[in-house]
Amino acid sequence: MSKNNDSFMVTIKDHKTVEHSAPRTLLETIELHQIEIQYHCREGFCGACRSKLIKGDVEYTTDPLAYIDDEEILPCCCIPTTNIEIELAK
Protein backbone atom coordinates (compact mmCIF):
# COMPACT_ATOMS: atom_id res chain seq x y z
CA MET A 1 0.00 0.00 0.00
CA SER A 2 1.38 3.41 -0.91
CA LYS A 3 1.25 6.42 1.33
CA ASN A 4 -1.26 8.25 -0.84
CA ASN A 5 -2.27 11.56 0.78
CA ASP A 6 -3.76 13.13 -2.33
CA SER A 7 -7.36 13.97 -3.09
CA PHE A 8 -9.08 12.68 -6.20
CA MET A 9 -12.46 13.23 -7.79
CA VAL A 10 -14.81 10.25 -7.90
CA THR A 11 -17.60 10.39 -10.46
CA ILE A 12 -20.38 7.98 -9.55
CA LYS A 13 -22.54 7.23 -12.59
CA ASP A 14 -26.20 8.29 -12.08
CA HIS A 15 -25.28 10.12 -8.85
CA LYS A 16 -22.67 12.86 -8.60
CA THR A 17 -18.99 13.69 -8.45
CA VAL A 18 -17.44 13.77 -4.98
CA GLU A 19 -13.98 14.34 -3.56
CA HIS A 20 -12.05 11.44 -2.06
CA SER A 21 -9.20 11.95 0.40
CA ALA A 22 -6.90 9.18 1.61
CA PRO A 23 -6.60 7.26 3.86
CA ARG A 24 -10.38 6.73 3.74
CA THR A 25 -11.57 3.81 1.59
CA LEU A 26 -13.73 4.45 -1.45
CA LEU A 27 -16.70 2.91 0.42
CA GLU A 28 -16.23 5.38 3.28
CA THR A 29 -16.17 8.28 0.82
CA ILE A 30 -19.37 7.07 -0.85
CA GLU A 31 -21.07 6.73 2.55
CA LEU A 32 -19.80 10.16 3.64
CA HIS A 33 -21.68 11.68 0.70
CA GLN A 34 -24.84 9.73 1.56
CA ILE A 35 -24.90 7.71 -1.66
CA GLU A 36 -26.59 4.34 -1.26
CA ILE A 37 -24.31 1.36 -1.82
CA GLN A 38 -24.62 -2.31 -0.95
CA TYR A 39 -21.95 -3.68 1.41
CA HIS A 40 -21.56 -6.21 4.17
CA CYS A 41 -18.10 -7.23 5.37
CA ARG A 42 -16.13 -4.00 4.66
CA GLU A 43 -12.95 -6.06 4.15
CA GLY A 44 -13.07 -7.55 0.63
CA PHE A 45 -14.48 -10.94 1.62
CA CYS A 46 -18.11 -10.89 0.50
CA GLY A 47 -18.13 -8.85 -2.73
CA ALA A 48 -21.44 -7.12 -1.92
CA CYS A 49 -20.00 -3.69 -2.80
CA ARG A 50 -18.65 -4.89 -6.18
CA SER A 51 -18.73 -1.92 -8.60
CA LYS A 52 -17.64 -1.28 -12.17
CA LEU A 53 -14.53 0.84 -12.69
CA ILE A 54 -15.24 2.83 -15.85
CA LYS A 55 -12.03 4.85 -15.84
CA GLY A 56 -9.10 5.60 -13.59
CA ASP A 57 -7.05 3.50 -11.19
CA VAL A 58 -7.37 2.24 -7.64
CA GLU A 59 -5.09 0.40 -5.26
CA TYR A 60 -6.18 -2.10 -2.65
CA THR A 61 -5.49 -1.55 1.04
CA THR A 62 -5.83 -5.31 1.56
CA ASP A 63 -5.98 -8.16 -0.96
CA PRO A 64 -9.64 -8.78 -1.82
CA LEU A 65 -10.80 -12.36 -1.43
CA ALA A 66 -14.16 -11.93 -3.19
CA TYR A 67 -14.31 -12.77 -6.88
CA ILE A 68 -14.30 -9.69 -9.15
CA ASP A 69 -14.10 -9.36 -12.91
CA ASP A 70 -11.26 -7.39 -14.52
CA GLU A 71 -13.34 -4.21 -14.79
CA GLU A 72 -14.72 -4.45 -11.24
CA ILE A 73 -13.46 -3.09 -7.93
CA LEU A 74 -14.39 -3.52 -4.28
CA PRO A 75 -14.88 -0.02 -2.79
CA CYS A 76 -14.65 -1.43 0.75
CA CYS A 77 -10.93 -2.08 0.46
CA CYS A 78 -9.58 0.24 -2.23
CA ILE A 79 -8.55 3.86 -2.61
CA PRO A 80 -8.35 5.89 -5.83
CA THR A 81 -4.86 6.67 -7.14
CA THR A 82 -6.25 8.90 -9.92
CA ASN A 83 -9.57 10.59 -10.64
CA ILE A 84 -12.02 7.74 -11.25
CA GLU A 85 -15.46 7.05 -12.65
CA ILE A 86 -17.45 4.13 -11.27
CA GLU A 87 -20.89 2.55 -11.62
CA LEU A 88 -22.43 1.13 -8.47
CA ALA A 89 -24.22 -2.22 -8.62
CA LYS A 90 -27.99 -1.88 -8.69
What are the tens digits of pLDDT across the range 23-76? 999 999 999 999 999 999 999 999 999 999 999 999 999 999 999 999 999 999
| Burial grade of 41 (CB within 10 A; 0-12, 13-18, 19 or more) | middle
Integer-rounded Cα radius of gyration of the chain: 12
The CA-atom distances, in angstroms, between 52 and each of 2, 3, 4, 83 are 23, 24, 22, 14
Structure confidence at residue 22 (pLDDT): 85
Separation between Cα atoms, residue 83 and residue 25, nearest integer Å? 14
Write down the pLDDT at residue 90.
Answer: 76
Kindly list the structural domains of the chain, giving each domain's residue range(s) and its CATH number in brackets, ordered by start.
Answer: 7-88 (3.10.20.30)
Parallel/antiparallel/unpaired status of strands 84-88 and 51-55: antiparallel
User: How sure is the predictor about 5, in pLDDT bands with cuts at 50, 70 and 90?
Assistant: low
